[in-house]
Structure 1
C-alpha cells in the first residue's frame, strides 16, 4: 500500500474511531471501559485506533519496550504487572487509578509513536488478508480494513461474501446494512448503531482515493517530498498584492477538488498567509499529510487533528515544516496565544541558531524572514510526515539578489571569510559593508535584552537554551563571573553565531567549567537569568571577570 493511502486510511479510521467522525481527527488519549463500545466487550479499549483487549495490552508492551523509562514514569498504578495477563480472559476492568495510568502511558511520545506503528502493522495485515480473499481494488481494500478493524476477520469475510462484484465502497456498504434485517443480534458490524460510521468511511474513501488500483510496486509512485514544498514556495518569492500576482496562490487553493475546511473558499481581499501554506498542499496534492485552512487558528486545530502539531517553541524545525507566530508573545513561558501568521521553513542553520521562513502575506508579498531557534513569537510548528528528511535550500553566489538573501549566505559560509569574502561580494556587485550590517542585524537584532537591574534569585518562567553543546571542560573555569561590557550570549562560540540575549554590563553569570573555542578564544557555556527567562549559551571569556 502506498504511504499516501496509509495516510488517508489513518485519517479515515482515526476519524470514525476516536475523532468524532471528523476526517483526519484522532485522539491519542482515547479510552473506553468494559462494554463501553459494545455489550460483548470484556475489557478496556485504548488509543486513537481503539485497540481492544489484548491488542491494547500489546500496545502497552510495545511502549514499555520502546521507552521503559517513560512507561514506568507514567505507570502510577502497576500496569506493567498486568502485561503478562490475558486481559480478555480475565475480564480486566481497570480502576479509575489504572485508567489514568493507562492514558498517561499511551500519550507519552513513545506511546503515540507505538499507536501509529501498531496501526500500520494491523493495516498491512488486513490488506494481505483482503488480497488473499481476492480483493484487489484499493477502495474496497480500505473498506475491508475498516470492517475488520471494527469486528474481526470472520465478519469482514461474511460481508464480502454477499457483496456484489466488482467490489466497491457502495457494494460493500449495501452488504453491510443487510445486517440490520437480522434482529436477533444487534452487535453485528452492519447494525444500525454503526451505520453513520460506515457512511463516513464510504464518503471519505470515494473523496480522497482517486485511483482504484494500488500501484505501490510500480515506478513513478507519488512520494511526499520536503524538497518539493521548499522548491515550490521559493518559486513564489516576489508574488505580491501591488501587481496582483499573489492572486495565483489564492486561485490554486480555490481549485481544491475536496471538501473545503469549514466549507469556505478563499477571497482575494482576505489575509493570505495560511492560504499560501495550504496552496502548497493543494498544488502538490499533499493534503493527506499537510493540513489546509485559510485561518491560522483553525490551521493549528487541523494540524492537531492530523497528529502533526508540535507545541514546543524550542523545536528545531526541518525544511518543509510550518512555523506559526503569535505577535503578542511576551517572551515568558511557552507561547500558547492565538496564532497570527504562518510561513514555511526553507533553511535551517542550527549551529548559528536560526532558521529562514518563506511566507505569504509578509508585507503584502511572498518574502523570507529570519527567526531565532526557540525565539520569541513562535507559537509552534506543523510537522507533516514526509517520506524523507532530505531537502536543501542552497545559497548560490550570484548577483542580483537581495541584501537579506546574501547576508544569509554569508552566515552559512557560502562567500568565504575575511578579505576573500569582501572581494567575492564586490565582484558580484554587492557592498561588503552593507552586507555585514545586515549580517549583524540577523545575528544580533532579535536578541533579548533588558536595562533593569537583575536580582540574584528570580523565578524562572522559561528557559532559552542554545542548540549547540559545550565540547571542552576545565574544572578551573567553573564559577561566577561579572560581565565587563554589554555582552551577547550566543548559540555557539564565535561572533557569527546567533545571539540569544544581550547581557547588561555588571551582570553576574555562572559557568560549570564547560566551554568551546573560536579563533583561539574560549567561549564559556554560561547561564544567566534576565527578567525571569533563563538563557544558557556561550559568551566570550574576554568580557567576563571572575568573582
Structure 2
C-alpha cells in the first residue's frame, strides 16, 4: 500500500470510527467505556481509530516511548503503572475518572496524534497484505477488506470473500457485504456505503508515484494562487470585451474556444478541470461545459450542505448563487477554497483580482451549497509518460548549494516567477531532483525541492548554473 493510499484510507477509517462519516474528520481524543458499543467489548476503546483493549495499551505505550518527559508532565495519577501491569483485555474505567482524563490528555497531545496516525498506517498496511495473501490484488478492493478487517476482524474478511463473486473488485465486495449477516459488518449498512463511496471518490488506484483525481485537481488549482494577468480589450473578441479588464485572466483564453463567454470565477473552475483531466473528461465530470453562470451550476448538480475536499462550492449571496470555487481542505466547520477572479481575505467577492486561497466557516454561510463531481469517472490521472515524469520529480538526484541569490520559477521559463518561494539566498542547501527540462532557447532547468516552514516542501525550477553539487548523484 502506497503512502498516498494509506493517508486516504486512514481518513476514511477515522471518518467511520469517530468522524461522523465525514471524510477528513476524526476525534483523536475519543474515549469509550467498556460495553458501550457491544456486550462483548470488555475494555475501553480510545482514539480516532477506536483502539480497543490491548490495542489501546499498545497506543499508550508508544506515546510514552515517543516522549517520556511529556507523559510525566501529564500523568499525575500513575497511569503508567496501569499500562505496565493491568490486564488490558478487560481494562474498564469510567469516562468521568482521573485515569480517563489523563488518557484523553495523552492521546489528544501532538505526540498522541502522531502515534495514532503511525499506528493506524502500520495496521492498514498489515491488513492490506493479509488481503493480498487471500487473492485480493485490486488496490481499492484491498482497501475495502481493510475496512472489514478493522471493524470485524480477519473472520469478517474471510466470510465476505467467500460470498464475493470473482474477480475481487470493490464493486463485487460491496455487493457481497450487503448480504452479510455477520457481527459488526453486514449490519452497518451506512458505514459500508460511506466507505464504498469514499474509496470511489478519494482512493488512488495508481502506484506510489500516482495521485488521486482530487489531488491532481487541487494541485492544478493551488499552482495558480496569486496569479493575476490583465489584457486589453483588443486581445479578446468583442463578445468578452464588455467584462472589464480586471476580469481578463489566462484561464478563459484556454477555455474560450468551447464557449464565447465571460472570464469569471466559474471559468476558473472549468479551466482547472480541463487542465487536470482533459477537455472531454472535464465535460463528463462537470455535466455542462464550461460553467458560465453560477445559478446554472446549482441547477446541474445534487447539492449538499456539508463541504468535502474536491467539492465545488457555490456561494449564496443576496438571494442567488453568485460565486464559486474548489474546496481544497476541510476541518470541522471550517473549509478552505481556491477561487478565480476574486480578491484576498475571507469575504466573498465575485469579480476583481486573480486566484486566491481563502477560508470560511460553513455555519456563517447560510444558503451556500456544495456539489461533488463523480471523480470515479477518472480511472487514472497519470499516463505512462506522466508517471515516469512524476517519479523523476519525486526522486532526489543529489544535494546542492546555491551559488548566488537566485530567483525560483514555477515553470521552466523566466515568465513564471514563484510567489510562494520567490528567491533562494546564496549558500542555501536544496535537493535537486532527477527531473529536468530544456526551454526553447536551449537553457536547461532543474527541478528542486526546498524545505518550507508552512508547506513542508516546495518544488520549484531554477536555471542551470544556479548551484553547485555537494553530494554524489544517487544510484
TM-score category by the smaller chain? 0.5 to 0.7
In structure 1, C-alpha distance between the alignment counterparts of 2:292 and 2:22, rounded to whole Å: 25
In structure 1, C-alpha distance between the alignment counterparts of 2:335 and 2:87, rounded to whole Å: 32
SS of equivalent to 1:215: coil
In structure 1, C-alpha distance between the alignment counterparts of 2:219 and 2:272, rounded to whole Å: 17
1:201 matched to 2:201: no
Q: Describe the superposition over 1:354-388 as per-residue Cα deviations: whole angstroms up to 9, x where unpaired.
A: xxxxxxx798222799xxxxxxxxxxxxxxxxx98
1:394 matched to 2:408: yes
Cα distance change of structure 1 residues 234 and 209 upon mapping to structure 2, 3 Å threshold: closer
In structure 1, C-alpha distance between the alignment counterparts of 2:130 and 2:17, rounded to whole Å: 21
Moved more, 32-41 or 81-90: 81-90
The aligned counterpart of 2:354 is 366
> Which structure 2 residues correspond to residues 241-256 of structure 1 after superposition, within 5 A?
241-243=246-248, 244-246=262-264, 247-252=266-271
Q: Describe the superposition over 1:409-451 as per-residue Cα deviations: whole angstroms up to 9, x where unpaired.
A: 7x9769xxxxxxxxxxxxxxxxxxxxxxxxxxxxxxxxxxxxx
Cα distance change of structure 1 residues 256 and 92 upon mapping to structure 2, 3 Å threshold: farther
The aligned counterpart of 2:318 is none
In structure 1, C-alpha distance between the alignment counterparts of 2:157 and 2:112, rounded to whole Å: 29
In structure 2, C-alpha distance between the alignment counterparts of 1:189 and 1:259, rounded to whole Å: 37
SS of equivalent to 1:178: coil
> Which structure 2 residues correspond to residues 475-494 of structure 1 after superposition, within 5 A?
none
Q: Is the 8 A contact 1:26 1:306 kept in 2?
A: no
1:242 offset after TM fit, Å?
2.8
In structure 1, C-alpha distance between the alignment counterparts of 2:45 and 2:408, rounded to whole Å: 48
Cα distance change of structure 1 residues 393 and 36 upon mapping to structure 2, 3 Å threshold: farther
Instruction: Point out where structure 1 has 5 or more consecutive residues left out of the alignment.
Output: 181-186, 271-286, 310-319, 328-338, 342-360, 370-386, 415-466, 468-547
The aligned counterpart of 2:184 is 189
> Which structure 2 residues correspond to residues 250-399 of structure 1 after superposition, within 5 A?
250-252=269-271, 293=313, 302-305=329-332, 339-340=346-347, 364-366=352-354, 394=408
Cα distance change of structure 1 residues 57 and 158 upon mapping to structure 2, 3 Å threshold: same
The aligned counterpart of 1:146 is 147
The aligned counterpart of 1:163 is 164
1:199 offset after TM fit, Å?
1.5
Cα distance change of structure 1 residues 300 and 131 upon mapping to structure 2, 3 Å threshold: closer
Q: Is the 8 A contact 1:151 1:189 kept in 2?
A: yes
The aligned counterpart of 2:4 is 4
Cα distance change of structure 1 residues 229 and 80 upon mapping to structure 2, 3 Å threshold: farther
1:177 offset after TM fit, Å?
3.8
Larger Rg: 1
In structure 2, C-alpha distance between the alignment counterparts of 1:153 and 1:400, rounded to whole Å: 56
The aligned counterpart of 1:221 is 210
Q: Is the 8 A contact 1:143 1:169 kept in 2?
A: yes
Q: Is the 8 A contact 2:221 2:272 kept in 1?
A: no
Structure 1-normalised TM-score? Answer: 0.47
In structure 1, C-alpha distance between the alignment counterparts of 2:101 and 2:286, rounded to whole Å: 37
In structure 1, C-alpha distance between the alignment counterparts of 2:353 and 2:134, rounded to whole Å: 55
Cα distance change of structure 1 residues 45 and 33 upon mapping to structure 2, 3 Å threshold: same
Q: Give the number of aligned pairs.
A: 314
1:232 matched to 2:223: yes
1:44 matched to 2:44: yes
SS of equivalent to 1:237: coil
Q: Describe the superposition over 1:285-341 as per-residue Cα deviations: whole angstroms up to 9, x where unpaired.
A: xx97x8875679x999953259999xxxxxxxxxx9xxxx997xxxxxxxxxxx548
In structure 2, C-alpha distance between the alignment counterparts of 1:238 and 1:113, rounded to whole Å: 42
The aligned counterpart of 2:19 is 19
The aligned counterpart of 2:31 is 31
In structure 2, C-alpha distance between the alignment counterparts of 1:44 and 1:259, rounded to whole Å: 46
1:128 offset after TM fit, Å?
0.9
Q: Is the 8 A contact 2:138 2:168 kept in 1?
A: yes
The aligned counterpart of 2:59 is 59
Cα distance change of structure 1 residues 413 and 301 upon mapping to structure 2, 3 Å threshold: closer
Q: CA RMSD in A?
A: 4.8
The aligned counterpart of 1:174 is 175
1:163 offset after TM fit, Å?
1.6
Cα distance change of structure 1 residues 196 and 231 upon mapping to structure 2, 3 Å threshold: closer
